[in-house]
Amino acid sequence: MYIFEDLIGYIFLASLLGIILTIIIGPFVYLTIYIRNKREEKAIELNNNLKREFTNKYQLDIMPSNAIIESTEECYAENYYQLNFPHWKFENMNKTKDNRMNNNYIVWEDSYLYIDNYLISFDNPLSLMDCIYHLRNNSVEIKKSFYEIEKINKEKSKFEYSNTLLSITDLIRLYSSKPTDFEYYCANIFKKIGFEAVVTPPTNDGGYDIKLLKNNNIFALVECKLFDKTKVGRPLIQKLVGASVTEKANNLIFITTSDFSNEAIEYANATHVQLINGENLIKLSERVYHSDNKNYFDEDSVRLDIQDFLEYIPKDILAICYDNM
């Protein structure tokens, strides 16, 4: 009986203590949350005001909603930017995950634009580059990064090859180390003809490399194979035909720097697949490039895109990103 009464007393005291603590601590917790929310609101308002100031000053239509802008006392000697890509906290020499280390995780870093007395951070490098190109179009000088210079040099090399020496040997020597660039070479031919040519991501294995669009509708699927002497066989043609079912494409084109086997040619004729072998590819490229009056390389036309950024993201992180898409 006494034990029960003592238990009741303890419960009453605990409840009373809880009420007292709530009365004392409650206002403090509420005030803390209120102050924090006010600070966040003030920071958001300041950021929005700076965005309006920035867009008005540089004649931009809009700033990305995810961009965070700060006004600095220092005025930078030159405008420049810094691209950062996701990486592992502990990484191997090839930038992939070091499984020997515990608590290893992906580090997601913002990219930054330093311009006059503004510092702007972007969580998406594509948004940063889009902003930079808009600024440059408005005559704002922004120093080219290592990534831009590297792509310009690559594109310039391709341009020189495309407008001077064109042979199967040249194509294989130029693109054998990176067949994806051969896909862009072929895509560029179709662009000059008048198509919108979209190159699929490197991880795509859907049986085709390029999607040709006309008036925003799929016109054709194109598969490209940079082969030296090996002929394209029937199985590769079948894979392209299979892709047409998924994409509902009426036209199919297969390009190779070598040639096609007799079985592949027979199957292509039966399934209405247009075949372009090395000889015909050279004729087509000569007709397209040599009829082009543009005989100079325009560095300002070279722009970084998502395909370029994928090169700087470790393969295992890239695989995780695609799995989550």
Q: Span 141-148, mean pLDDT?
A: 93
Name the residue among 197, 208, 152, 182 with its Cα closest to residue 285: 182
* Banded pLDDT at 19 (limits 50, 70, 90): confident
Residue 322 placed within a domain: no
Query: What are the b/e assignments for 163-176, b being 16+ CB within 10 Å?
Result: eeebebeebbebbe
My answer on whether 283 and 172 are in the same domain is yes
The 3 state secondary structure assigned to the chain is CHHHHHHHHHHHHHHHHHHHHHHHHHHHHHHHHHHHHHHHHHHHHHHHHHHHHHHHHCCCCCCCCCCEEEECCCCCCCCEEECCCCEECCECCCCCECCCCCCCCEECCCEEEEECCEEEEECCHHHHHHHHHHHHHCCCCCCCCHHHHHHHHHHHHHHHHHHCCCCHHHHHHHHCCCHHHHHHHHHHHHHHHCCEEEECCCCCCCCCCEEEEECCEEEEEEEEECCCCCCECHHHHHHHHHHHHHHCCCEEEEEECCCECHHHHHHHHHHCEEEECHHHHHHHHHHHHHCCCCCCCCHHHCCCCHHHHHCCCCHHHHHHHHHCC
Residue 168 placed within a domain: yes
* Banded pLDDT at 164 (limits 50, 70, 90): low
Name, of 174-188, 244-258, 299-313, the range with top average pLDDT.
Answer: 244-258
Whether 117 and 76 have beta carbons less than 8 Å apart is answered as: yes
Whether 241 and 269 have beta carbons less than 8 Å apart is answered as: no
Residue 53 placed within a domain: yes
Supply the CATH number for residue 181's domain: 3.40.1350.10
**Nearest-5° Cα angle at 310, 304 to 316:** 165
pLDDT > 90? residue 143 = yes
Residue 103 placed within a domain: no
Q: Span 312-316, mean pLDDT?
A: 89
Which one is predicted more confidently, 231 or 200?
231
**pLDDT of res. 104:** 93
- Whether this prediction's pTM lies above 0.85 is answered by no
pLDDT > 70? residue 306 = yes
Whether 264 and 233 have beta carbons less than 8 Å apart is answered as: yes
Q: Span 236-245, mean pLDDT?
A: 90
* Banded pLDDT at 9 (limits 50, 70, 90): low
**pLDDT of res. 14:** 64
pLDDT > 90? residue 142 = yes
Q: Is 3 exposed, middle or buried (0-12, 13-18, 19+ CB in 10 A)?
A: exposed
The 3 state secondary structure assigned to 223-270 is EEECCCCCCECHHHHHHHHHHHHHHCCCEEEEEECCCECHHHHHHHHH
* Banded pLDDT at 325 (limits 50, 70, 90): very low
Residue 32 placed within a domain: yes
**Residue range of the domain that includes 31:** 1-57
pLDDT > 70? residue 242 = yes
Percent of the chain exceeding pLDDT 90 equals 37
Residue 193 placed within a domain: yes
Name, of 17-31, 149-163, 291-305, 308-322, the range with top average pLDDT.
Answer: 308-322
- C-alpha 32/C-alpha 22 separation (Å) is 15
* Banded pLDDT at 324 (limits 50, 70, 90): very low
Q: Which residue has the tokens 């020496």?
A: 165
The count of domains in the chain is 2
Computed over every residue of the chain, the mean pLDDT equals 83
My answer on whether 166 and 50 are in the same domain is no
pLDDT > 60? residue 165 = no
Q: Span 193-220, mean pLDDT?
A: 84
